């Protein structure tokens, strides 16, 4: 069914809980399908992975999702690195406070 529909102007709702520990896992939902419409069968099917060009009926929906996934997959190393830096700074600050109190 997805290959005969165009999904123009739909959205992704992304929820991330930054609490430690997280109260819920991150989630992504596809929402806002007001502009989903059938593609003229004489034009053919859409793949949703091709960039939009005038007249091709492609909107690049899956292309965009692939790009977003690639971006998200590159985050954990960076997030882990930043968390380590913050923990190191906190530990150094605590050690400095303890030395000052002695």
List the one residue out of 55, 52, 33 whose CA is nearest residue 44: 55
pLDDT tens digits along 1-13: 456 777 777 788 8
Q: What pLDDT is attached to residue 3? A: 66
Kindly state the DSSP code that residue 80 receives in the 8-state scheme: H
pLDDT tens digits along 38-80: 887 777 777 888 887 887 777 788 888 888 888 877 776 666 5
Domain with 26, as residue range(s), is: 2-101
Q: What is the CATH number of the domain that holds 85?
A: 3.30.470.160
Instruction: Check residues 99 and 51 and name the one with the higher pLDDT.
Output: 51
Per the structure, how many domains does the chain have?
1
List the one residue out of 41, 59, 39 whose CA is nearest residue 49: 59
pLDDT tens digits along 74-95: 776 666 566 666 666 666 666 6
Indicate the SS3 state at residue 6. strand
Q: Which DSSP string corresponds to 36-76?
A: EEEPPTTT----S-SPP-TTS----HHHHHHHHHHHHHTHH
């Amino acid at each position: 069914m997805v290959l005969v529909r165009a999904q123009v102007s739909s959205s992704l709702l992304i929820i991330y809980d930054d609490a430690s520990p997280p109260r819920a896992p991150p989630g992504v939902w596809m929402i806002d399908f007001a502009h989903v419409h059938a593609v003229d069968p004489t034009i053919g099917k859409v793949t949703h992975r091709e960039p939009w060009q005038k007249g091709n009926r492609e909107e690049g929906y899956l292309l965009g999702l692939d790009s977003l996934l690639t971006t998200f997959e590159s985050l954990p190393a960076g997030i882990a690195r930043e968390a380590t830096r913050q923990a190191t700074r906190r530990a150094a600050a605590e050690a400095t406070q303890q030395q000052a109190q002695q």
